[in-house]
Amino acid sequence: MSNETRPQVDMWTDGACKGNPGIGGWGTWMRSGGKEKEICGGEAHTTNNKMELQAVIEGLRLLKKPCDITLHIDSQYVMNGVTKWMKGWKRNGWKTGAKQPVKNKELWQELDAEVARHEITWVWVKGHAGDPGNERADALANKGVDITRAGL
């Protein structure tokens, strides 16, 4: 499929955790072709890094066909993991340069599979600095925390 025919998607993701580890939430807001979609969720016992990963995984998983995505993210952990570290982790059998197992390996592997379906431009944004999309994703992540807390 040529790039000209791929849907263009703007996506913002964020994770939140009340305690680390603690009750966590993730949120994703995306827009494409005049349409918008918000999703969120959470876990009762998790970490902020896991929620940051989950937000991206869930957003990408929602897309039914390959897309050109501009992904706005405030997590350098996730962005660097995909753009800088993952290739080496995979080459080393999901071990770090220090020969330690990669933390959150299963989530990284899920993310790797989702990323492979799309063309993604990664854009780091400073969290809680007024970026409207990031603020919306943060609100969704906190909604995920609240929904999870209410279900306990």
Q: How far apart are CA 75 and CA 6, in angstroms?
A: 26
152 residues of the chain, pLDDT tens digit each: 445 689 999 999 999 999 999 999 999 999 999 999 999 999 999 999 999 999 999 999 999 999 999 999 999 999 999 999 999 999 999 999 999 999 999 999 999 999 999 999 999 999 889 999 999 999 999 999 999 999 97
Please confirm, yes or no, whether 128 is among the known catalytic residues.
Answer: yes
Domain of 23 in residue numbering reads as 3-151
The single residue of 27, 41, 52, 59 carrying the catalytic annotation is: 52
By residue count, the chain amounts to 152
The single residue of 25, 42, 59, 74 carrying the catalytic annotation is: 74
Please confirm, yes or no, whether 15 is among the known catalytic residues.
Answer: yes
Instruction: Give the number of other Cβ atoms within 10 Å of residue 114's Cβ.
Output: 18
User: Any idea what the CATH number is for the domain that residue 110 is in?
Assistant: 3.30.420.10
What's this model's pTM, rounded to 2 decimal places? Answer: 0.95
Number of domains observed in the structure of the chain: 1
